Structure 1
C-alpha cells in the first residue's frame, strides 16, 4: 500500500515520530539556541542591511519585516550581549525612518507597507519611551485617514500620485501585513472605522471575501473599479495566487492574532479565518509534495510544476519562509485545534524550511550566510497574467527573504 502524504513527508524529513502536543517535535537536525536564525541575522548586520530604507519599491516592507525579525530574535536569545547589540541595531533601524515618515500628507502617497515601520515604532516607543518616535507615529496615524478607500471600504494599497491611473482602486493582499497590526496598536486614535481590532478584522475579511479562489487561497489583490484588463468582471479579483502576497496576508493575520487577547470579540473570527487559510495552504503543500517529491511554496502557489507560455513555475524562497513561519507559529500557539491538521502544519512547516536550506541557503565562506531565490517585486499596476509572475527575476539576499528566513528558523527552533 502506498504511504500516506504524512508518512511520505516523515520519510523525506527523516522523522521517526511526530509529536505536537506537550512534546517537542523530533526534527531532522538539532538546532542550537543560536543556530541558523542568529547566523542569518548576524550576516544581515555584517552586510549593513536594514539600517535605512533601501530606496527600492519594496523598501518599507523590507524594513518592517526585518524589524520584526530583530524583535523576535531579541526576545528569543538568552545572551545579554546579543540583546544589547541587536536592540541598538533595532533602535537605529527604526529611528532612521522617523524623518521621512513625519509628514502625514506625504505618507498618504506611500504604499500601506509604511505602516509596518509604524508598528515597529510603536513597539519601540512602548519599550523605550523615546519621544523621538512620536512625530512619525502621529503622522502615520493621520495618513491612514487620508488613505483612499473603495466603495466597499477597502483601503487602496498605494495612492501613487505619479501614476494614479495604474494604481487607482487597487487593494493588495500584501497590504494586510502592515495595516492590521498598526490599526490595533494605534487604537487610541479617535476614528474607530480605521483603528482598533474591529477595523483590522473588517479589512482582512473584506479583502479575503473578494480575493479567495475556489480552493480558499487568496489571489494577489483586486480592482474595485474593474478597469484593469486582468480584473475579474464580477469581483475585480486578479488571476493568480502569488506566493508572497499570500504569505504577507497570512503573516498579517498571525501578527494580528498575536496582539489580541483570546477574550477579544474579534479573536474567534480571526482564528477561524487563519484555520481556513492554513488548511488551503496545507493542501497546496501536499500537492507540491506529491508532484515534486518535496515541500515548497511555488511562485504561483496552486500550480506546482506548471509552465506558462513556455516559462516554468518555481519554488520561491521568501514565500516558503513566510509560510513555514505562519504554519509553525499557529501550531505552537494552539490556534490549530484539530490535532491532525496541527500535525500536518508542523510537518509541512519544517519540511518547507528544510527545502529552503537545501535549495537556497548559501555558505559565503567568510562566516556569513546568504539566501538566494527571492522573487523581485510583483505589481498589479500592469499586465499580471500567469507568465508575468513566473518570469519575475530572483535575487540574492533580499531583506524580505533573509528576514522571513530568520522568522521561520526561530519557529523551527522553538517547536523542535
Structure 2
C-alpha cells in the first residue's frame, strides 16, 4: 500500500507541475490529432489513405481519451478516419486479405468499437473480413501465425499485438468459444520459440525454417532483443485478457506468462533513467539509447496489470520510476503548450528485399529516431491514461458498486442471434449501456458488479453501492420480476446497515412503478405514475434541468439533460434535492447508517453521457462524475 500511495503522490506532482491541468493522456491526444497522418500516404484523393496499423495504435489511445472525458470530438476523429476506409457494404479500401499481413488486423479493434457504439452493420462486416483473413492466414507447423506472406515461416513479437486482442474481442462478440485456446497458444508458442533461457527475454523474431540470414541456424531466433518488440508482445498479452473467459483453462497460464514477462522486463529497466534501452540487454554500449515507444508500452502493461490484479502491487515502485522517466527523458513542451514525445525509433524489422535487415545491434542503431511517431504516441496515451487511474484511485479497502440485472432483465439478440442481457448494463457500449458510468467508477478503483438474482442481505453483503434501474414491465420481458415485500425488506435492511442505494426509474409506460414503490416508500419516496419533461424530436432544451446551488452533490454542474421523468412525492426521511417546474425530480434519504438517491429516469446511460448526442452545454458526464464522488462519500458498510 505504501508503494501505491507513493506512486499516486508522484503522478499527482507530475500531473500538476509543468504540464497544466489537462491530463497528459488528453494533451498527447491533441498532439496526435494536430500532427499525425498529414502526409501524402494518408491525404491522397485518388488512392485514399493507407491502411496501416500505426493509425490503429493511435486511435486506440484516442478512444481511451474519449471514454475518460466524454468529449465527442475524439470519437468523431476516430469515426471520420475509419469512414475513409469502410464502405457501406463493409469493404475496406486499400486493404488486401491476400497479402496475409498480420499488421493489417490491428485496426479491427477500432472497427469493433465503432460497431459496439453505433451498431452500424458496415463496421461489423469489415470485422468479418479481417477475421476471414485470420481463418486463412498461413501458419507454422505447430500453428503460429506467420508475420506476413512475404516473411514465410516467421513469427515476430509484433504480430501478437496486431492480431490477438482483436481476435479475442471478436470471439467474445460472436460467441466463438473455440478461438480462445488457439489465441493463448499464439503467446505460448512465441515464448517457447523466441525465449532466451539465460536472460528470459524474447528475441524479436523466430524463423521456423532457419532459412533467413538473421536466423540462428540451430534455434531460428533473431540475434537481438528489441524493446518495442517486447512491448508489442506484453501489450497484446494484457489486452487479450480483457476478453478471455474466466472459465477458460488457459486464462491463468496466460496470467502466469504475463508475470514471467513483466518480471524479466523490469530486470532490464535502466536504474538511472527508469526507462528501457532500444536493445534491451545492451545498455552499457555507448551507441544504444533509451527509447520512448517501448518504455510507454511497458508502463502501460505494468500499470494495467497492477490495476486488474494480474501482478503484485510490488511492481508499483518500478512503474512509478518508469513513468517519471517517461516524462523526464521523452516529453517536451512546444511554445504553444503542445507536448511532444521524443526519441521514438521510427521502425525496426527483420529481412526484406530492398534493404536487408540482419537483426544485428548495428542494424537497430541505424534506424531513424524521431519525435511524435504514431507507434510511440499511441502507447504513451494508453500509458498516461493508466497512470491517471493510479492518481485517482480510492484509498482504502476495495469497494464494489453493483448493478441490478434482476428487476431490469431484458434480452436482445446479439449479432449471432443469441439472446443476451441488454439495456442499462455495465458492458453495454451503445446508447443504452452504462459503460461510461461504469468506467467512471472503475477509474476510482471501484469494482463494478452485476446482480442477476433477487437481492438479499447475503448477496448484497459484498456491495457498497447498489443501483436499480428501470424495472421491467410485461411488454419488456415475458416474466418480469416485480418488487416484493420480501425483497424490499432485504434491501432496506442492507441500507440500514450502511449500504448506499441508487434508484433510477423511468416514466410511466416505460417501467414498472406501482409495485416498485413497495421499496421506495420505505425511505419516504413515492415514484409518481406520470411522464414529465417530455422532449419532441431533438429539441434538447425541452429536456434541460437546471441544478440549484447547495445540493451537496453537484458542485460544478449547472445544466443537465433529463427527459420523460416520473416525478417524486416525498415524506420523512426523504429530502428534496432538485425541482423542475414545481415537480420534485431528485431526492435523497438517510436511513439508518445508509443513504438513498432517487430520480425517475436512468439519465446517466451512454446516450446522454458519452458526448455524441447532447449539445456541449449539457453537463451529464460531469454530473456522473460528481454523483459517483458523493455516493462513495456516503459508504458506511
Alignment check: 8 A CA contact 1:298 1:315 kept = yes
Cross-structure match for 2:32: 44
1:135 and 2:136 aligned: no
1:240-281, Cα deviation, whole Å (9 max, x unpaired): 110001000100001001222433332211100000001001
1:145 and 2:135 aligned: yes
Residue pairs, 1:400-415, within 5 angstroms? 400-415=375-390
Cross-structure match for 1:371: 341
Structure 2 unaligned regions, length at least 5 = 44-49, 392-637
Partner of 1:171: helix, strand, or coil?
strand
Cross-structure match for 2:307: 332
Residue pairs, 1:203-352, within 5 angstroms? 203-213=186-196, 214-285=198-269, 288-289=270-271, 293-307=272-286, 312-337=287-312, 342-343=313-314, 345-352=315-322
1:168-218, Cα deviation, whole Å (9 max, x unpaired): 21211001002111222232799979x722121011111111001122211
Q: Which moved more, 1:67-76 or 1:392-401?
A: 67-76
TM-score (normalised: structure 2): 0.55
Alignment check: 8 A CA contact 2:85 2:94 kept = no
Shift of 1:49: 3.9
1:22-43, Cα deviation, whole Å (9 max, x unpaired): x963316152673111111112
Partner of 2:332: helix, strand, or coil?
strand
User: RCO higher in 1 or 2 (8 Å CA, sep ≥ 6)?
Assistant: 1
Cα distance between partner residues in 2 of 1:107 and 1:191: 23
1:181 and 2:165 aligned: yes
Cross-structure match for 2:92: 102
294 and 411 in structure 1: CA distance in 2 versus 1, 3 angstrom threshold: same
Cα distance between partner residues in 1 of 2:163 and 2:279: 24
Partner of 2:241: helix, strand, or coil?
helix
1:117-159, Cα deviation, whole Å (9 max, x unpaired): 0122112211210112133212111111221111121111111
1:73 and 2:56 aligned: no
141 and 279 in structure 1: CA distance in 2 versus 1, 3 angstrom threshold: same
Alignment check: 8 A CA contact 2:53 2:103 kept = yes
Cα distance between partner residues in 1 of 2:31 and 2:94: 34
Cross-structure match for 1:60: 52
The structure with the largest alpha-carbon Rg is 2
104 and 366 in structure 1: CA distance in 2 versus 1, 3 angstrom threshold: closer
1:355-412, Cα deviation, whole Å (9 max, x unpaired): 2222221211123222111102111113111111122210121011111111111122
Tell me which protein shows more helix as a share of its residues.
1
Partner of 2:256: helix, strand, or coil?
helix
Cα distance between partner residues in 1 of 2:135 and 2:94: 9
48 and 304 in structure 1: CA distance in 2 versus 1, 3 angstrom threshold: closer
321 and 368 in structure 1: CA distance in 2 versus 1, 3 angstrom threshold: same
Cα distance between partner residues in 2 of 1:50 and 1:120: 20
42 and 275 in structure 1: CA distance in 2 versus 1, 3 angstrom threshold: same
Q: Which moved more, 1:273-282 or 1:225-234?
A: 225-234
Residue pairs, 1:347-358, within 5 angstroms? 347-358=317-328
Cross-structure match for 1:202: 185
Alignment check: 8 A CA contact 2:193 2:206 kept = yes
Partner of 1:336: helix, strand, or coil?
coil
Cα distance between partner residues in 2 of 1:46 and 1:52: 16
Q: Give 2:370's match in structure 1, choosing from 395, 400, 412.
A: 395
1:15-68, Cα deviation, whole Å (9 max, x unpaired): xx94338x963316152673111111112112254999749xx96221121121
Partner of 2:206: helix, strand, or coil?
strand
Cα distance between partner residues in 2 of 1:408 and 1:101: 32
Cα distance between partner residues in 1 of 2:318 and 2:360: 28
Cα distance between partner residues in 2 of 1:135 and 1:103: 13
Cα distance between partner residues in 1 of 2:37 and 2:214: 36
Cα distance between partner residues in 2 of 1:321 and 1:59: 24
Cα distance between partner residues in 2 of 1:351 and 1:97: 40
Cross-structure match for 1:13: none
Q: Which moved more, 1:100-109 or 1:117-126?
A: 100-109
1:19 and 2:3 aligned: yes
282 and 90 in structure 1: CA distance in 2 versus 1, 3 angstrom threshold: same
1:89 and 2:73 aligned: no
1:215-247, Cα deviation, whole Å (9 max, x unpaired): 221110111110112212222111111000100
Alignment check: 8 A CA contact 1:104 1:142 kept = no
Query: Cα RMSD between the aligned structures?
Result: 2.9
Structure 1 unaligned regions, length at least 5 = 1-16, 161-166
